[in-house]
Structure formats: structure tokens, C-alpha cells
Amino acid sequence: MAHNGTAHPGHATRRGVCLVISAPSGAGKSTIANALRASDTKLKHSVSVTTRQPRPGEKEGVHYYFRTMEQFEAMAQAGELLEWAIVFGRGYGTPRAPVEQALAAGHDMVFDIDWQGHRQIREALPGDVISLFVLPPSLEELERRLHGRGSDHPDEIARRMAAARDEISHWQEFDSVIINTELDRAVAEARSVLVAGRLLTRRQTGLADFVATFGA
């Protein structure tokens, strides 16, 4: 019997995992997601659609798909986005087709999105999502990290801090929660969440055939 997904000697075929990482701005979700991808070739990045202008060095289809607001709204209305939101006047969303194709082929995807995006993706792909929320050690440390970026105006930092309190209030909606006190430890804990998600019985679509080889 043929199955979608990846297969390795001594391992059952499995369907890909959607690892959703959410956190208030400055808590480290993007840094953790990037560290996971850098150390795991099986983990693919979901390239988002955005209506904001490209920053220096950003490439179409690599960092983002850059679209006008009109194009973005048309994609949302056509059901071409798994999740989407308007954040500070800019549209952000996840194209549906590449994600569904990757999961069927057994590739894992990582998303660094907000709690609203997590809700939408879990509703669209209820059996595929493993979610992780990243908390800062404190609000004071979060604000210090935002100031440390050196790229945001004080008014922008104040807005992000206000949004952080709302974001944090949704922590109980996630499968796992870590506190990013020390980055290496946070990355290791996030990796453990991913590995556990890969080993869930429901993800291993070829497990029955594999077990049958033992006569069980």
C-alpha cells in the first residue's frame, strides 16, 4: 500500500507536522524558529504573504511574497490563505497550497505567527498542528529586549508592549509553553516539542504496515 510522507529504514512513513510558535514581539519566537531550521534540514519555513514593503536584502519568495493590499484581500476571499491578519495596517498571511503539499510529502513546517494565526491554522488543519507559546521571563525583560533592537521608535515599543499583554493572555490555547530565559535552553525545549509531535501515533501514517512486518 502506498502512503504519502517520508520513510526511512526502520521507520514508518509519516505525515508532516505544523509547528506553530507564538509569542509577544521580542520574546524570541523568530529567533527560536530560525535556530530550529538551521539545525534540522527536515524542517521547512513557511513563506508568508505580506503587503509591507521589502526591507533591504529581502527577496520575493524567500523571505516573503510581497503583494498589494488588493491582491492580499483577493487571496483571503478566495480561501487561498490558511491564516491571515491585518497588523498595524499591514496584511500578513500563510499561503494554503504550499503547506498542504509539504505536509502530504512528509515535510515539517514551522510558523512564527500570533495567537490569531494559530487559531486559524488549527481550525484549517486540526490534525496537523503542534503549538508552542514562548513567554519572556518578565514584562520588564521583554521591554528591555525591544529597546535593545535599536530599530523601533519609543511609541512603537509602547504599542508592542500593550499588544504583548493581550498576546500573553492566550497562552492556555497552546499545547506547550516555554519561558525564554536563556536562548539555548529555549531552543532545546522547542526541539523536544517538535520531536514529540513527529512521534505521535496519528502522524505515522505507515505505522500499521510497518508493525505488520512483525506479524502483530
User: CB atoms < 10 A from the CB of 90, how many?
Assistant: 13
For the segment 62-97, what is each residue's pLDDT rounded down to a tens digit?
A: 889 999 999 999 999 999 999 999 887 999 999 999
Q: How far apart are CA 181 and CA 192, in angstroms?
A: 17
CATH code: domain 18-45+108-212 is 3.40.50.300
Q: Does the annotation place 29 within a ligand binding site?
A: yes
Q: Does the annotation place 169 within a ligand binding site?
A: no
What string of DSSP letters covers 29-70?
HHHHHHHHHHH-TTEEEPPEEE-SPPPTT--BTTTEEE--HH
pLDDT for position 3:
41
User: Which residues have a Cβ under 8 Å from the Cβ of 93 and sit 6 or more positions away?
Assistant: 48, 49, 50, 72, 75, 76, 81, 82, 83, 84, 85
Q: Does the annotation place 28 within a ligand binding site?
A: yes
Q: Does the annotation place 10 within a ligand binding site?
A: no
Q: Does the annotation place 23 within a ligand binding site?
A: yes
pLDDT for position 129:
96
Top-ranked range on mean pLDDT: pick from 43-47, 53-57, 99-103? 99-103
Where do the structural domains in the chain lie, given as residue ranges? 18-45+108-212
Q: Does the annotation place 91 within a ligand binding site?
A: no
Q: Does the annotation place 164 within a ligand binding site?
A: no
pLDDT for position 215:
87
Report the run of H or E that residue 145 belongs to, with start and end: helix 139-149
